[in-house]
Amino acid sequence: MAAIIMIDLKNVTKEFSDTLALNHINLHFDNKGVFTIIGPSGAGKTTLLKILALLLKPTKGKIFVNNVNVDNNMRHSLRRKFTMVFQNALFFNSNVHDNISYGLKIRNLPSDEVEKRIRDVLKRFGLIELEKKLMSELSVGQMQRVSLARAFVLEPDILFLDEPTANLDPENNSIMEKEILSFSKTKPVVMSTHNIMQIYRIADRVAFLSDGSLIDIGEKGILEDPQDECIKRFVAGETGYLNNNC
């Protein structure tokens, strides 16, 4: 089994024109399991995931992967080991098979290997009958299952999920959580979510983000008796909290 990938963020700040999305974030991942990033809307969860997945560059600060400072030349090769699933099922304007095969084809894998992996993942996610359907013909739940299948088929070393189960019905939610847990037994999963119950079900560690700053980080137990007022309100699900007024 490949060694677990280690990622460190050192004082990472991300600014978009006049908005501070992330403010001096320090994080360390070196373990399998599900690491969840929680916080209100606009807290910077998606930006943090994109920086971790090497899709965005920090304005300030550094990213280290296996203790090596990530520079521009390394980004592409590292991204082949990382895969991110986006919040709103994002897909190419083609059918399920072509969407899932894209990542395998650009890796120039032999066609029999591509087809074998696609068969396996279609079966695993209950997508066999949808293989030739256009993505636009699928339900939201089916689209999100394809998104996860498209990521799993690449057998990444680390998986980044941006609210992967948002807006899903219980059946699709259950399929997704089962697969995420299965993956996390051997490799790390970094996932953002709003769903407190989901955190209790599948998370191992939790980081709480608000206004681009990391408020707390630890085992999911930090949510049971939170010391910070922001986290208390988030857990209690107080109305108005989602306006990010910590």
Partner 1 sequence: MNMITEIVSSFFEALNLVFSGDSFVIDIALRSIYISGFATILALGFGIPIAMIISFREFFGKNIIKWIFNISLGFPTVTLGLMLFLLFSRSGPLGVFGILYTPTGIIIGQSILVTPIMVSFSVSALESVNPEIRNLAKTLGASDFQASIMALIEGAKGVSLAIVGSFNRAVSELGIALMIGGNIRGFTRVLTTTIALETRRGEITQSIAIAIVLLFTIAGVNIVMSLIKRLWLR
Contact positions vs partner 1 (CB under 8 A): 50, 53, 55, 76, 79-80, 82-84, 86, 90-94, 102-103, 106-107, 134, 150-151, 154, 160
> Residue 134 CB, nearest distance to partner 1 (Å)?
7
Could you give the angle at the alpha carbon of 197 between the alpha carbons of 191 and 199, nearest 5°?
A: 30
Classify 233 as helix, strand or coil.
Answer: helix
Of 17 and 239, which has the nearer Cβ to partner 1? 17
In the complex with partner 1, the residue whose CB is nearer, 2 or 197, is 2
Long-range contacts of 177-182 (CB under 8 A, 24+ apart): 177/201, 177/202, 179/124, 179/125, 179/148, 179/152, 180/34, 180/148, 181/34
Minimum CB separation from partner 1 for residue 16, in Å? 12
CB-CB contact of 199 with 35 (8 Å): no
**What is the C-alpha to C-alpha distance for residues 6 and 67, in angstroms, rounded to an integer?**
7
CB 49 within 8 A of CB 190: yes
Of 22 and 223, the one with the shorter C-beta distance to partner 1 is 22
Q: From the CB of 99, what's the least distance to partner 1, in Å? A: 9
Least distance in Å: CB of 159 to partner 1?
Answer: 10
Kindly tell me which of 100 and 203 has the beta carbon lying closer to partner 1.
Answer: 100
Min dist. Cβ of residue 90 to partner 1 (A) = 5
- Please report how close the Cβ of residue 55 comes to partner 1 at its closest, in angstroms: 5
Of residues 127 and 235, the one with the C-beta less far from partner 1: 127
Residue among 26 and 41 whose Cβ is closer to partner 1: 41
Contact (Cβ atoms closer than 8 angstroms) between residue 100 and residue 175? no
